[in-house]
Structure 1
Amino acid sequence: MSITIYPLASLSQIEKTPSREDGIPPELEEDLRAYGCKLIHEAGILLKQKQVAVATAQILFHRFWYVTSMKQFGIGDIGMGALYLASKLEECPIRMRELINVYDLLLQRASHTTGSTSSAQQYSDFKYVPMSYFGSTFYDLKDALVVAEMQILKRLGFNVHVVLPYGTLVNYLRVLGLTSREDVCTRAWGYLNDALQTPVYALYPVPTIVSAAIMLTTRHLGISLPSSPENRWWELFDAEWEDVWSVCGYIMRLYRERDAEDQKRLWGTAETLNARGRTAADI
């Protein structure tokens, strides 16, 4: 990772990630990243964790896959380790047992929903079966959590500094005179949270990401901002047009529709990589 105020992926890491080197298609890697971040977000809600810890965990999760292949470690395990580490960094630690229980619930539910034949059946007949604390499942997940946290620290070189975008968003909206619009603030904030499911926080500086959120918001709400060649609003925040547009593309791809077969394929791949990653970690 390159060294700036906060670490960003290098050009060589962006062009060919370790997972791509191992034969994982770019689209599948992108979907697996989003799925892992979704699990982190859901776990954070169930654990009543602070948003700053959840966001930090998602950013660390993305950084990890620019230095490590998904064939080496499981998506769920690294997400669990990232959330556990982030809770310490943001001084809102969570109990290991509670985190393991929540991830076990989420993984069981994901397995059930992908096997359901209809959307109505996905949640209606799901029943969580708690693991036995004297069985192997709990200790396997506990070992995976410890290994994941250790590997994140090791492979990121203990450089786990994260800059979150929320304060910057408020300042930029104030400069643009948009803080009085509640719909603008809410939608832009939502785009920043959705962007956590994409790798943009490991690729671009915060001003560029915030500018992209503002651009998507103003375009969807029909708000005009200065964009003439001599008076471009994003240049006020030292953001490049090509980078802002690229971040917008990453965010909008999250909203594309996926059919049931795509979801089953994604879950099956994540489950396979999880099992393979734990075997590799044991070796």
Structure 2
Amino acid sequence: MAIQHPLLYPLASAAQISQTPSRADGVPDWLEEDLRAEGCRLIQSAGILLGTPQVVMATAQVLFQRFWYVTSMREFSILEVAMGALYLASKLEEHIARMRDIINTFDLLLSRLRYTLSHPSMPLDGFQYTPMSYYSDEYYAYKDELIIGEMQLLKRLAFNVQVQLPYNTMVNYLNVLGLGRIEDIAQMAWSFLNDALQTPVYAVYPFPTIACASIHLAARQARVVLPEPPEHEPWWELFDTDFEDIEQVCVWVLRLYSKQDEKEREEVFRLLLGGRKEVKKWLEDNSAKNDVAMEHLNQH
């Protein structure tokens, strides 16, 4: 059993992990997982366009993931929480992004997504974006959503918005294992840490476990043999981590690379664009379909 790390930041409880608020409201596992991932990709894309440091984008994604362990997607939209998370993270990391720039960037990304869904066979070269007016109703609607998102993040996370990222820890662990000078392995592990932000693992596992998982994945990809039992002491025990937890993190990350069903992907994008109203409608429609199916089964 791994030694418990003294944490200055919250992790989801076993009860929250087994039954998230969204799942309690009827959102299936696959849909919640995909909406979480798309929300994080939205944050990352917006951050890149805004030129914000990686630490801001990573912090925003961790806060975004934590939020859905205390709140249902039936109550708030992916968009408002994503915008609020990026704005809040820019303050926490002292690289403050202007509210107007965040709003215009998210509007650009959503407009591009709408174009892609409406013109699936057309290249993005045909997409043209016109920024909204600073005085338009649409702009103020976005502004309200951003402010609500930031306020609800602070409120529902009880102002516990401390985030500790595993990047430096991962580099230190590589050096301890004598892998720091192996070409490309640090870069691969770094990339796995970035990809893991699209999953809930940062809200579930302590950062040393995530750092070890990225090393495990990078070593496998680079075909580097790490010391393993019974010939050697388990390398992960050097860092007070549990191999079962490392494997679970790896499963989350590797799941990102599996091919997504095209219809499911379109459904996720539609719900992302439609916000909580569209999610509520989807839940009501599926509940009605399930009731009809159950009634049909009972009759037979």
| Partner in structure 1 of residue 220 of structure 2 | 219
Deviation at 1:125, TM superposition (A): 1.2
Asked if the contact 2:79/2:275 (under 8 Å) is kept, the reply is: no
Larger radius of gyration: 2
The amino acid of 2:227's aligned partner reads P
Deviation at 1:111, TM superposition (A): 1.3
SS at match of 2:184: helix
More moved, 125-134 vs 39-48: 125-134
Deviation at 1:259, TM superposition (A): 4.3
Q: Name the TM-score, length of structure 2 as normaliser.
A: 0.88
- Once the two structures are aligned, what percentage of the paired residues are identical? 53
Deviation at 1:57, TM superposition (A): 0.2
Pairing of 1:39-58 with structure 2 (within 5 A): 39-58=42-61
More moved, 127-136 vs 88-97: 127-136
Partners of 1:276 and 1:133 lie apart in 2 by 27
Say whether 1:106 aligns with 2:109. Answer: yes
Asked if the contact 2:35/2:272 (under 8 Å) is kept, the reply is: yes
Say whether 1:84 aligns with 2:76. Answer: no
Q: What are the ranges of 5 or more consecutive residues in structure 1 without an aligned counterpart? A: 278-283
Partners of 2:150 and 2:198 lie apart in 1 by 20
| Partner in structure 2 of residue 61 of structure 1 | 64
| Partner in structure 1 of residue 290 of structure 2 | none
**What is the total number of aligned residue pairs between the two structures?**
274
Q: Name the TM-score, length of structure 1 as normaliser.
A: 0.93
Deviation at 1:32, TM superposition (A): 0.3
More moved, 105-114 vs 189-198: 105-114
Partners of 2:260 and 2:167 lie apart in 1 by 30
Query: Deviations for 1:68-106, whole angstroms, at most 9, x for unmatched residues?
Result: 001111101100000000000000001100110000000
Say whether 1:73 aligns with 2:76. Answer: yes
| Partner in structure 1 of residue 159 of structure 2 | 158
Partners of 1:160 and 1:94 lie apart in 2 by 18
Partners of 1:82 and 1:24 lie apart in 2 by 22
| Partner in structure 2 of residue 232 of structure 1 | 234
Deviation at 1:240, TM superposition (A): 0.7
Partners of 1:163 and 1:127 lie apart in 2 by 39
Asked if the contact 1:71/1:276 (under 8 Å) is kept, the reply is: no
Change (3 A) 1:275 1:104: farther
Q: CA RMSD in A?
A: 1.6
| Partner in structure 1 of residue 252 of structure 2 | 250
Partners of 1:183 and 1:4 lie apart in 2 by 31
Partners of 1:253 and 1:201 lie apart in 2 by 15
Deviation at 1:182, TM superposition (A): 3.1
Deviation at 1:113, TM superposition (A): 1.2
Q: What are the ranges of 5 or more consecutive residues in structure 2 without an aligned counterpart? A: 1-5, 280-300
Asked if the contact 2:202/2:210 (under 8 Å) is kept, the reply is: yes
More moved, 130-139 vs 57-66: 130-139
Say whether 1:181 aligns with 2:162. Answer: no
Query: Deviations for 1:214-267, whole angstroms, at most 9, x for unmatched residues?
Result: 111111111001111451111111111110000000000001112432321111
